[in-house]
Amino acid sequence: MAVKVRIPTPLQRLTNGQEVVEGKPGKLIDLILDLDSRFPGLAERVSENGKIRRFVNIYVNEEDIRFLNAEETEVKDGDEVSIVPAIAGGRGWS
Amino acid sequence: MSFVKGLKCRECGREYGVEPIYVCEFCFGPLEAVYDYQGIKKAVSKKKIGNRDENLWRYREFLPVDGEPRVGLHSGFTPLVKAENLSRFLGVKELYIKDDTVVHPTLSFKDRVVAVALTKAKEFGFDTAACASTGNLAHSVSAHGAKAGLNRFIFIPATLEESKIVASLVFEPNLIAVDGNYDDVNRLCSEIANKYRWAFVNINIRPYYAEGSKTIGFEIAEQLGWRAPDNVVVPCASGSLLTKVWKAFKEFKEVGLLKEADTRIFAAQAAGCNPIVTAIKNDTDVIRPVKPETIAKSLAIGNPADGFYAYRAVKDSGGYGEDVTDEEIIEGIKTLARTEGIFAETAGGVTVAVARRLIEQGYIGKEELTVLCITGNGMKTQEALQGRMTEPHYIKPNMESFEEMLKRLE
């Protein structure tokens, strides 16, 4: 069992159209960098210099990582991570 | 005649054409209209603006439309009231109320932004206007859209109070009551905006819509005799209004209509929803979302889209922010009504109460010129005052009873 990562529509071009991909447990930012090794370009769309971009919201199991430990949030097997552009007015924008 | 060069991402600077888009496809930052200020400088003068009709379109060169204004031809140019009673009460020399309790046609500053949004929507060729709202925005899109001959889809949470529903429904839009809370409504609207070619004023038309807020700042400067105030206090929901008021003063300076634009900008929020003020006080540009709990419902945005930019405008301008309790908000509404005869909605109570604190704490100087932005009419949020007012004096229909009551008053 891995981490389930939900990809928003604008980034699905990078994941060959996949809406959900598998991620590696560990720190959230490392999970993003690991995804980038398989889906090149993804990390720079979502983060800059190790920080999640201001207008990208990331949720771990429905909780905004700003309420958790931000980029350092530990993600475990079985967790669900959602990447959601912020100004689209809500989490469901895809 | 448009001076808009295009849209630009506020985060990464990527440029886009004038289209109904609102988010940078690379970094998801918000897009903002950019102008040819050299061109505007040649096209405007104080005299030219001063000779135009008294509505927000007198500043049309600074607004992102191409042709003639089509919506909101009577919106804007609200009174700038010299608040002598309130300034005496608060112990400051010069205080003004920018009174957007009386914007045509639905009595809040949203009539300004919707006027610009729907004019642009018509230019883009949309036949349907839409929004998600719990109040002022719904009323404004319903009304302006009716006059403009647009189909309207207004999305509200199904649990909304009857009085707010009526104030939209009278304009006969398609009022869609969604079984869910405001966040659910918003999320649904974003999905709909992606599928249907409708002008969602605060989604795909947002870069144009937001520019309408600048007209408050333009009017303040013109009404003060072409000068920027020392301080302005602005209520914050998404934070957009605050950034645009600041931008207005800067733009006027840029094109030579103002000599100086050193206004300090102050953010006003409710203690029950204060993510922007918290960032200002903690001096951090990370806006931590909150779950709103305040009577100031029109300001209850827990995750403000323009929060970072509002924070930056406040900091760059040398201003500050304060947040006030529900009790202070009520007292603020009553103070403004008692001293100036203006009945503001709860957001206005927030602004007055915050100004009071900022003056007490010395952030706003007693010898300075300060403007308070009062953005909506109290008739719309009367329920907030229920049980918190004095009672009427009940009497019998005769002179004796009346004079008895008069004695009791003495």
Q: What is the 3-state secondary structure (H, E, C) of B138-195?
A: HHHHHHHHHHCCCEEEEEEECCCCHHHHHHHHCCCCEEEEECCCHHHHHHHHHHHHHH
Contact A88 B25 (CB under 8 A): no
Between CA B32 and CA B50 the distance in angstroms is 27
Based on the domain organization, do B218 and B206 belong to the same domain? Answer: no
* Closest by Cβ to B29, choosing from A55, A91, A92: A55
B contacts of A85 (beta carbons < 8 Å): 23, 28
The two three-digit tokens of residue B243, written as one number = 């950034």
Sorted by where each begins, the domain ranges of chain A are 3-85
Say if residue B205 is in the same domain as residue B218: no
- Structural domain contains residue B401: no
B182 in any annotated domain: yes
Classify residue B18: in a domain, yes or no. Answer: yes
pLDDT surpassing 70 at residue A92: no
Q: Is there a domain that residue B405 lies in?
A: no
Same domain, B265 and B336: yes
What's the pLDDT score for residue B304?
A: 87
pTM equals 0.93
Report the CATH number that the domain containing residue B332 is assigned in CATH: 3.40.50.1100
Determine the average pLDDT of the residues in B238-255. 97
Written as six digits, the tokens of B384 are 């907030």
pLDDT band at A88 (very low <50, low <70, confident <90, very high): low
Domain shared by B314 and B365, yes or no:
yes
- Give CA–CA dist B349/B334, Å, rounded: 8
CA-based nearest residue to B290, from B273, B277, B276: B273
Of A53, A66, A67, the CB nearest to B27: A53
Of A64, A67, A90, the CB nearest to B186: A90
Q: What does the alpha-carbon distance between residue A37 and residue A49 come to, in Å, rounded to a whole number?
A: 16
When scoring A9, A55, A57 by the number of chain B Cβ atoms within 10 A, the one with the most, hence best to mutate, is: A55
**A45 Cα to chain B: minimum distance (Å):** 5
What is the interface size between A and B, counted as CB pairs within 8 Å?
A: 66
C-beta atoms surrounding B320 within 10 Å: 22
Assigned superfamily of A3-85: Beta-grasp domain (3.10.20.30)
Q: What is the pLDDT of residue B1?
A: 64
**Which of A9, A14, A67, A93 to mutate to test binding with chain B, by most B CBs within 10 Å of its CB?**
A93
Show the tokens assigned to B57: 């379109």
Q: What is the DSSP letter of B101?
A: G
Number of folded domains that form chain B: 3
B18: left (phi over 0), alpha (psi -120 to 50) or beta: beta
- Give the pLDDT of residue A94: 27
Chain B hits for A54, Cβ within 8 Å:
11, 29, 308
Q: What is the C-alpha to C-alpha distance for residues B368 and B285, in angstroms, rounded to an integer?
A: 28
State the complex-level ipTM. Answer: 0.84
**Nearest neighbour of B23 by CB, restricted to A66, A88, A94:** A88
- Residues of A with a Cβ under 8 Å from any B Cβ are 10, 45, 48, 53-56, 64, 66-67, 85-94
CA-CA distance, B289 to A67, in Å (whole number)? Answer: 8
- The H or E element spanning position A37 is helix A28-38
pLDDT-derived band at A64 (thresholds 50, 70, 90) equals: confident
**For residue A91, is pLDDT > 60?**
no
Q: Are residues B85 and B127 in the same domain?
A: no
Kindly state whether residues B339 and B194 are assigned to the same domain.
no
Q: Which residues of A touch B186 (CB under 8 A)?
A: 89-90
Nearest-CA distance A88 → chain B (Å): 6
Q: Which residues constitute the domain of residue B267? A: 80-105+213-385
- Same domain flag for B243 and B363: yes
B26, B183, B305: residue with CB nearest A86: B305
Q: Count CA within 13 A, CB hemisphere, residue B261.
A: 22
Average pLDDT of every residue of chain B = 95
- Please give the Cα distance from A52 to A55 (Å, whole number): 8
pLDDT of residue B187: 78
Q: What whole-number distance in Å separates Cα of residue B282 and Cα of residue B1? A: 44
Residue B295 lies in a domain: yes
The pLDDT of residue A87 is 67
**Which is it for the CA torsion B333, B308, B108, B156, positive or negative?**
negative
Res. B161 pLDDT band, cuts 50 70 90: confident
Q: Are residues B272 and B317 in the same domain?
A: yes
Considering the domain architecture, whether residues B303 and B205 belong to the same structural domain is answered as: no
**Cβ B25–A10 below 8 Å, yes or no?**
yes
Least confident of A40-44, B188-192, B215-219: B188-192
B57 domain residue, yes or no: no
The answer to whether residue B72 sits within a structural domain is: no
pLDDT of residue B289: 84
